[in-house]
Structure 1
Amino acid sequence: MAGRGRAEIENGAQVVSGQLGKTIQRLRKAYNLSLSELAEQSGVAKSIISQIERNETNPTLATIWRLSQALDVSIERVLASADEEPFVEKLARRDTPYIVSDDGKMRLSIIGWIKTVEWLQWYDVSAEPGGSLESEGHQRGALECLSVLAGEAEVDVAGIIETAKAGETLRYRCDRPHTIRAIGAENLHATMVCIMKAAVMD
């Protein structure tokens, strides 16, 4: 594999992928190899290969390297194939992290994927009437999209104020101080997407 030595691979780091086992199994069957035959050719114990294929263990990169050599494919292809498989992930309500505003009246549940947090953040917003969330400016060019599902919201971006009701969306630069408020008599419910690496807008 280009750019990586055997010693670097054998550092004990583990590869965690729910689809990796299916990829190994598919490649093994494509070569008409039994578990015993793949174990003999790779030097990886038959029981370990079986556990990998059933996704009961997270193999080290060294193990994946040995299996990829035996299957005559690059380790990049094995890992890429695993990443390209479809998956469904469910996060229980109690396990969903959230942020609460200083006044305790607004709650942002973090429903976006942790792997995208550096460039895309996605929240479910709920607030009592009068609740507000004040934020410092994010990185230059960052953009927020607030879509109101129920109630009414007001957004104040450096003194420029706009409101939105259910069915309406506000898009605004969030690379400067900004505040979201729940106005009106109803509770506010909205979704908010923050694009952290949007193109800089003049």
Structure 2
Amino acid sequence: MQDQATTPERGRQRDILNGAQVLSGQLGKTIQRLRKAYNLSLSELAEQSGVAKSIISQIERNETNPTLATIWRLSQALDVSIERVLATSDEEPFIEKTSRADTPILLSDDGKIRLAIVGWIKTVEWLQWYEVTADPGGVLDSDPHQRGSVESLTVTEGALEVEVAGTFQRARVGETLRYRCDRPHTVRCVGTEPAKAIMVVIMKAAVME
């Protein structure tokens, strides 16, 4: 979401990347090539990135699958975008797995709504999705997304209410709310029971142009 999940840009990347993992046979070669292009030794890159020299060495030899948080730190030290570091052949098959313990969690200001970031970092600029868990009375206030963006909220347990520009609508189990999220919007857990939902954010949705 645009709130904690997407602003500021660097904060969003750090939150999303924390704990997730990437599987890429080209990752080690890319890190090594960029490091040598900057004439950096393993020790120098370790000092600049805060990643242990031994870990960088293992990454370059493709002996480990580093967390995306580690890759983010390396990309910052090498002054390149994380997309460039993660670039692989479109035809390369892969299977990616992230455990629940490693899934980043965002909290609402009141601490009663939790968003597990289950979306893929490579789609974050145009598609984001979350697993929402809410305690009774929980409120999640969100800033506007990019113009034309749409949010979809499918309730799997309990009941949730969405407010957009003074308009309110509730959804219960099996129901879905879709709404413009390019303006301030709020999600509330209504009733006396906890609620769960799947939230999908489509950035710059063509249907709203």
Asked if structure 1 preserves the Cα contact closer than 8 Å seen for 2:139 and 2:189, the reply is: yes
Verify the 8 A CA contact 1:19 1:85 in the aligned structure 2: no
Contact 2:107 2:115 in 1 (8 A): yes
Q: Which residue number corresponds to residue 111 of structure 1?
A: 118
Deviation, structure 1 residue 84: 1.9
Q: Percent identity?
A: 63
Match 2:194 to one of 172, 187, 191: 187
Alignment gaps of 5+ in structure 1: 1-15, 22-53, 59-78
Please give the TM-score of this superposition, normalised by the length of structure 2. Answer: 0.59
Number of paired residues? 136
1:138 aligns with 2:179: no
Find the residue that maps to 1:18 and give its secondary structure: coil
Q: What SS is found at the alignment partner of 2:144?
A: coil
Gap regions ≥5 residues in structure 2? 1-21, 28-60, 66-86
Shift of 1:144: 0.2
Q: Find 1:159's aligned residue among 142, 166, 191.
A: 166
Q: Which residue of 2 aligns with 1:120?
A: 127
Deviation at 1:87, TM superposition (A): 1.9
Bigger Rg, structure 1 or 2: 1
Deviation of 1:132 after TM superposition, in Å, equals: 0.8
**Of 138, 155, 178, which residue of structure 2 is paired with 1:148?**
155
**Aligned-pair RMSD on alpha carbons?**
2.7
8 Å Cα contact 2:115-2:132 kept in structure 1: yes
Aligned equivalents of 2:175, 2:207: Cα separation in 1:
24
| Deviations, residues 34-92 of structure 1 (Å, cap 9, x unaligned) | xxxxxxxxxxxxxxxxxxxx95489xxxxxxxxxxxxxxxxxxxx87x43233211111
* 1:109-149 deviation digits (Å, cap 9, x = unpaired): 10000111111110000010110100111110000000000
